[in-house]
Structure 1
Amino acid sequence: MAELTVLQGPAAALRIDNLDTDQIMPKQFLRGIDKAGLAQGLLYDLRFDAQGRARPDFVLNQPAHADSSILIAGANFGCGSSREHAVWGLQQYGIRAVLAPSFGEIFYSNAMNNGLLALMLPVDAITALMAWAEGAPDGGPAAEVSIALNDSVVRAGGLEVPFDMSARHRRMVMEGLDVIGLSMTYQPQIEAFAAAHAARSPWLVDVAARVRARIGEGPATPSWG
């Protein structure tokens, strides 16, 4: 995950409330054992008809929005099941941020933990941003949205919309950290706590290894001292 202070890109309006994770990433695309190939499945039943032909009226199939990296979406985006594949599919397709009035709680956590920016904005602001995105002429330049993380402002044309974000999520996005990376920034404190805990309660250190050694299944390899 790369460090980020401003995210800017072409935007598309997705005027669907309660878009759930089954619609974002249908079940038939969950058969793999890794994260690969999920871009094809993103919003599949909205992008394609029963014969697999692209629906020309769907926003991401329109030339003006084909390369959109920011989605402006309806309320309760990402509700439904907890499949993380919905986030991975959005990212593989090229979506870097979703702006919506509200999100499914688990989707929001999955998005922010994987580096997909999910911002909650007031309904009137989302309505105005959707109108801006839909104003891009067919064959003309796409409507761009800029998200300034330092200033906590979304900008599009003459619109300026402030947003809130937790300090933890802001740091993760700006420093390019996932949850493991964020945890590792506290490694000195973690090691200090572990050493102090071992000193206070040495009988708890590597109990499993000591038991295995005692019954002859392996060497005792305590981590401390």
Structure 2
Amino acid sequence: MKPITIVTGKAAILDRANVDTDQIIPKQFLKRIERTGFGQFLFYNWRFDEQGAERDDFELNHPQNKGASILIAGENFGCGSSREHAPWSLLDYGFNIIIAPSFADIFYQNCFKNGILPIKLTHEETALLMSVCTDGKQEITVDLPNQLVKAGDGFRTEFDIHPYWKELLVNGWDEISITLRYDSKIEAFEKASGI
């Protein structure tokens, strides 16, 4: 995974509550076994019409949102089924940070495990951040070591994150990487135990 420390990027706004994992990545695209290639199917039923053409009325299809790496969304983002393909598709599309007032629990954990930083802000902070970005100042800075979000000419707020997940993201580790850090101790234990 790529480390996340201080990230400055364009933000896209998806001002919708209760965006479920079937909207994030519809079930018909879950046949792949690798983690890559899912970005093209992100929000497929919202992004494309029946002929496969981009819908003009969907937020991420607007020109100002192209190339965004930060997604600002409504409450309860990632609800529904627990499919890990949802964070895979968001990351493959280009989003490595998602900001929302709340997330579904399993989706929230899956984000950390797959290299995405989900940030919970209050409803008021999220709405203010959306308004700042709507005014044409779409660039946001997320400082994970100091747990800060900054945007525009004065938006600045802190966010909470469990120290375990913070350490993983700052270092670009997944849970296998954590285990491999103790490889010599595991090997010594196995030799001492006769395993």
User: Which category of TM-score, normalised to the shorter sequence, fits these structures?
Assistant: over 0.9
Which residue identity is paired with 1:17? Answer: A
Quick one: which of 161, 179, 183 aligns to 1:183?
179
Alignment partner, residue 139 of structure 1: none
SS of 1:13's equivalent in the other structure is strand
Return 5+ residue gaps in structure 2 as ranges: none
1:7–1:146 Cα contact (<8 Å) kept: yes
Shift of 1:73: 0.6
1:125 lines up with 2:125 in the alignment: yes
**Partner AA of 1:153 in structure 2:** L
- Which of 1 and 2 has greater Rg? 1
Structure 1 residue 184 displacement after superposition? 2.0
Query: What is aligned with 1:143?
Result: 138
- Unmatched runs of 5 consecutive residues or more in structure 1: 137-141, 199-204, 206-222
Q: Distance in 1 between matches of 2:91 and 2:166?
A: 18
SS in 1 for 2:10: strand
Q: CA deviation at 1:187?
A: 3.2
Tell me the CA shift for residue 4 of structure 1.
Answer: 3.0
The answer as to whether partners of 2:70 and 2:97 remain within 8 angstroms in 1 is yes
Relative contact order (C-alpha < 8 Å, sep 6+): which is higher?
A: 2
Question: Residue in 2 aligned with 1:104?
Answer: 104
Q: 1:64 to 1:80 in 2, by over 3 A?
A: same
Look up the match of 2:32: 32
Looking at structure 1, the residues matched to 7 and 157 of structure 2 have their Cα atoms a distance apart, in angstroms, of 14
Residues 9-32 of structure 1 show CA distances to partners (whole Å, capped at 9, x for unaligned) of 000111111101000000111122
User: Which TM-score applies when normalising by structure 1?
Assistant: 0.81
**8 A contact 2:2–2:115 mirrored in 1:** no
Q: Which residue pairs with 2:166 in the alignment?
A: 170
Matching of residue 71 in structure 1 with residue 71 in structure 2 = yes
Name the SS of the counterpart of 2:129 in structure 1: helix
Q: In structure 1, what is the Cα distance between the partners aligned to 2:129 and 2:49?
A: 28
Task: Tell me which residue corresponds to 1:88.
Answer: 88
Instruction: Report the secondary structure of 2:78's partner residue.
Output: coil
Partner letter of residue 176 of structure 2?
Answer: I
CA contact (8 A) 1:99 1:121 kept: yes
State the AA in 2 paired with 1:45: N
Q: Match for 1:172: what amino acid? A: L
Partner of 2:11: 11
Identity across matched positions, percent: 44
* Cα separation, 2, equivalents of 1:189 and 1:84: 31
